Structure 1
Amino acid sequence: MTGPSLGLRTGSRTKSHAGGSRNEKPRFTLDSTLGEVLDDAQARAVLDEVVPGVSTHSLVFLARGITLADGAARLGSVEPERLAELDARLRALG
């Protein structure tokens, strides 16, 4: 059982490496949770620059499990241009 499982994982990794110049998907995107972004100093700094006040909001702990995209959709107050900038800058982190 462990043999085939290991073979599939290795094959999958090899495929993703061969498909593009990046080894893996970006660490952070709008599909990342707020908690993931807040726990990384660089990602948090980007969030603070693009959407000031989110990381220091008194109820931020309640939204740590929500993706950035879902949170923005629920709030409805973040312009699409700012979301696109946030996504691009988070992806640029690697």
Structure 2
Amino acid sequence: MKSGYDRIGTTVTVEHAKRSCLDKVRYDSRNAARDRAVLLAKKYPNTGKQCPYRCTLCGDFHLTTKIPNGLKQGKPNRAVGRQKIIAPQYGRLPKEG
């Protein structure tokens, strides 16, 4: 069974590898990636929150704007008639009142 970079061109397309790993900054640890995400959030406050994840190709960590549970921080819930903010850490709406 192939793993890591050996999968490029066989089970992983070159385009997918470039988009998901090769064109991204690599971090040695989750903490290093998390520290960089905090720095970027301070420098660019209007961008989305970034979370570290372990790459299946290189084994290092990258940053993504996809929150692990699939919810975006501060995204309005348009299904409810009025604007509510989804609480991404719990995956449900915050308590009112």
TM category, shorter = under 0.3
Choose between structure 1 and 2 for higher RCO, CA contacts under 8 A separated by at least 6 residues.
1
TM-score scaled by length of structure 1: 0.25
TM-score (norm 2): 0.25
Choose between structure 1 and 2: higher helix proportion.
1
